[in-house]
Amino acid sequence: MADQGALKANRKWLKIATRVVWVGFVLGIVGFPLYIWSVSVNLNNWFGELPSYSQLENPEQNLTSMLYTADGVPLGSGYFRDNRNPVTYDELGPNLVNALLAAEDIRFQSHSGIDLESMFRVAFGVLTFSPRGGGSTISQQLAKNLFRTRVINDDEKGKLEGKIGVLDQLIYKTKEWILSVRLERSYTKEEIMAMYYNTVEFGNNAFGIKSAAKTYFGKLPSELSVPEAAVLAGMQKGVTTFRPDINPESSKWRRNVVMSQMVKYDFLAQDAFDTLRVQDIDLSEFKQQDHNQGLAQYFREEARKELRVLASNLGYDLYGDGLKIYTTIDSRMQGYAEEAVDSAMTRVQHLFDSLLLKEGRDLWIDSKGRELDDFFDDFVVPRSTAYRNLVNKYGEDSDSVNYYLNKKKKLTVFSWQGEIDTLMSSLDSMRYYKQFLQTGFMATNPQTGAIKAWVGGINFKHFKFDHVQHGKRQPGSLFKPFVYATAVEQGYSPCYTFKDEAVTINVPGQDEPWSPQNAESRFSGEEMTMKLAMARSVNSITARVMDIVKPEKVSSMAKRVGIKSTIPPYYSIALGTEDVSLHEVIGAYGTFANKGTHIEPYYIDRIEDKFGNEIYRHVPRKSRAISEDVAYIMLNMLQETAKSGSGRGLAWTYGLVDLAQKQNEIGAKTGTTQNASDGWFVAVTKDLVAGAWVGGDDRAIHFTRWPDGQGARTAMPIVGIFMQKVYADESLGIEKSFFDRPAQLNMEIDCARFEQVLAPKDTTDNIIFEDDIY
């Protein structure tokens, strides 16, 4: 009986087991596909939405928008949220392909998105508590990277997500299975591998293999060696853990694991592996890609501000749509400009520092060289970011503000001999950085308005302010050509003569007359032409010309030729008292070189979308400002500065003008403010207009003596060195040349043949000469 009972019990359990097997079989055959289908259609919103087929074929990625020079050189690392520059499969090279296959998915070419063998291996490892690696294919990892299946916003969650941890993982994995199969149906294997390498992160702000290869090894992906490719492929097991710059030993270990897998699958010979495995990772070319690296850093930042708005107006995202932006900058000329700034400013700064030390004075002085004792505390500190942040945090009267301003901390600071690691307080840092003189430099093609070089300061990493477009300062004598151009336009020959003597002008509506002084506060008494007076920047004669032509006409002239800043019709503007930017000055001088037609300087030539379709092309903004005759006469007058005036260093020091052989025509003008806080210089040729400004961050930072800070000494060397390099580079196609003389020029300009030419009319009634006062 007992045996019969046991037999009945065994039969009962056999039936139960059979039913369980059948139920499991039915569930496996019917239920699992039904589950997969439910996830794919998000049944009852239990699982969350999957990307549509349209999204699958056009996955959204943040692609880097790249700037290119006119000669095809990439400028910096571009504009990005994720520093990502996509590559095609052909651009990967075999080493990267083989390293990824060996490390992640050796059956990639044979499966359809899901590797069943790997899945069973993983499942068996879990059941036996002996994990044997991951089972995700390259396609599954791509699905996870592209569509962020495991990073879901609350409004994107299904009803079951976020409830049960194990269930969440199953849902996420299921989504990746479905998407990987769909990816395999939508793309070729080569496209999937390229997309994978384009989507993964490598640390150091490098997204995608092209950025990673550039960042860590300074190479294109196809140029990577086997060990280098193994380093980058191996990082995907843990980017931070295996980053070669911060964890070199871990990265080396992981690299060797990948290379051993390459040996296993016959991608690498054993003897080659034995040699390579002992080598350290070479990071001699490592350079984090950021906006402090590469050419034209100031220019790139200024271009970014305009491009962000321009791209938005065109319906694009500058930081994510992978635009190709072609600029007018020439990489060779930009390089020469930066070299010229470094060379010239090193010497100018040395002179300034040595005089500061010799004079034993504070940094801030007034126009007479007297120290401004409270300037730092009253003006510099309150305007600083450090002070404002502390006040916002602790309150203006809190002792904490003063405590933290004086607290020493580790800093890396700029010097002309290289960066210095030091201890400084915020106040120390303010004083230290204020001692550096700054500069701005720009060069354009006057015939097209295309900007060819742009340097906004001495070092973008440490001094972000751009002095080309935003650093408006008084131009001094640089403004005088607009006064003389007005006179020429009114019919006054450049050969008309004046006497250099003290002058006092009664200004309507003012109690005090205007009595401008010459640069060195003395008058020669010499009779000289307008041409010579402009070349020598004689204030007394410029003032007399201003009184003849009237301030309203000069203000109008400045605006017509390209000065955008407000220039009120005051007599004093003749001497450059109103602030202007270098950018607008170069554009205005370009009007003379472009035969009287003003072209607004520009730097964006055209823009293409990520597919290469042109979405924008610049249309030059032109306007007839002055006649061709007036423009040529002004060029002729500006040449006198390079021959006998303050710009003669272009010939004697830099050899740009051969006065004897007349091999080149260059017009030039210097500008220096009264207290020598601003030094300017502009040179004009037929094919190039180049100019520079030099001065302190504050107007109270300047040389004590006017001659030391004059534009011919501070700014001209930048322009001279730049043009020397440009002329020496035959690949640029810029040669020494002559201005085009109008065929029917109706005014005498050869002033050497005349002692004096009568003025068309005399309007000097309100000028009081010094001799007449007594």
Residue 347 — very low, low, confident or very high, per pLDDT cuts 50/70/90? very high
Strands 65-68, 324-327: pairing kind = parallel
**pLDDT, tens digit, 9 for 90 and up, residues 401-410:** 899 999 999 9
The confidence score (pLDDT) of residue 118 equals 55
Q: Please state, in angstroms and rounded to a whole number, the distance separating the CA atoms of residues 338 and 296.
A: 8
Tell the CATH topology of 439-604+619-639+676-769: Beta-lactamase (3.40.710)
Q: Note whether 680 and 710 are within 8 A (CB).
A: no
Whole-angstrom distance, CA of residue 307 vs CA of residue 68:
13
Dihedral, 111, 114, 116, 117 alpha carbons, nearest 10? 70
Residue 660 DSSP class = T
Give the model's pLDDT for residue 342.
97
Read off the pLDDT band of 476 (50, 70, 90).
very high
- 367, 674 contact by CB (below 8 A): yes
Q: What is the pLDDT of residue 27?
A: 58
CA dihedral for 419, 425, 430, 432, sign (positive or negative)? negative
User: What pLDDT, on the 0 to 100 scale, is given for residue 9?
Assistant: 59
pLDDT at 20: 65
Q: What is the pLDDT of residue 757?
A: 42
Segment among 70-74, 184-188, 364-368, 656-660 with least mean pLDDT: 656-660
Q: What is the mean pLDDT of the chain?
A: 84
The whole-number pLDDT of residue 565 equals 96
Which of 293-302, 543-552, 569-578 is least confident?
A: 293-302
Please report the pLDDT score of residue 291 as a whole number: 67
Mean pLDDT along residues 467-485: 96
pLDDT digits (tens, 9 = 90+) for 256-310: 999 999 999 999 999 999 999 999 999 988 887 666 678 999 999 999 999 999 9
- Determine whether 559 is exposed, middle or buried from the number of CB atoms within 10 Å of its CB (0-12, 13-18, 19+): middle
Taking the C-alpha atoms of residue 241 and residue 253, their distance in angstroms, rounded to an integer, is 11
Q: Note the pLDDT of residue 82.
A: 67
First-to-last C-alpha distance (Å) of the chain: 151
**Does the pLDDT at position 761 exceed 50?**
no
pLDDT value at 49 more than 70: no
Residues 6+ apart with CB under 8 A from 395: 401
Asked which of 35-44, 277-286, 362-371, 605-614 is least confident by mean pLDDT, the reply is 35-44
State the pLDDT at residue 196.
Answer: 86
* pLDDT of res. 579: 96
Q: Which amino acid is at 756?
A: Q
Predicted pLDDT of residue 193: 87
* pLDDT at 221 > cutoff 60: yes
Give the model's pLDDT for residue 764: 37
How sure is the predictor about 133, in pLDDT bands with cuts at 50, 70 and 90?
Answer: very low
Superfamily of domain 53-304: Biosynthetic peptidoglycan transglycosylase-like (1.10.3810.10)
Of residues 229, 616, 298, the one with CA closest to residue 439? 298
Q: What is the pLDDT of residues 404-440, one digit of tens each?
A: 999 999 999 999 999 999 999 999 999 999 999 999 9
Name the pLDDT band for 252 (thresholds 50, 70, 90): very high
Q: Which of 705, 689, 620, 21 is nearest to 355 (CA)?
A: 705
Q: How far is CA 70 from CA 54, 342, 724, 728, 732, in A?
A: 36, 23, 21, 19, 11
Indicate the domain borders of the chain.
Answer: 2-41, 53-304, 305-436, 439-604+619-639+676-769
C-alpha pair distances (Å), 32 with each of 26, 36, 135, 389, 529: 9, 6, 19, 59, 99
Please report which helix (H) or strand (E) contains residue 683, including its range: strand 678-684
What is the structure's pLDDT at 28? 56
| Cα–Cα distance for residue pair 737/751, rounded to 1 Å | 22
Residue-wise pLDDT tens digits, 641-670: 998 888 888 888 888 877 665 678 999 999
Which pLDDT score, from 0 to 100, does residue 237 have? 86
Query: 492 falls in which pLDDT band (50, 70, 90)?
Result: very high
Q: What would the mean pLDDT of 151-165 be, rounded to a whole number?
A: 50
Sheet containing 451-455: give its strands across: 451-455, 438-444, 689-695, 678-684, 667-672
Position with higher pLDDT, 433 vs 756: 433
Q: Report pLDDT for 479.
A: 97
pLDDT band at 122 (very low <50, low <70, confident <90, very high): very low
The predicted model scores a pTM of 0.79
Residue 769 reports pLDDT greater than 90? no
DSSP SS3 for 344? helix
pLDDT of residue 512: 87
- With bands split at pLDDT 50, 70 and 90, how would you rate the model's confidence at 135? low
Across 11-21, average pLDDT: 65
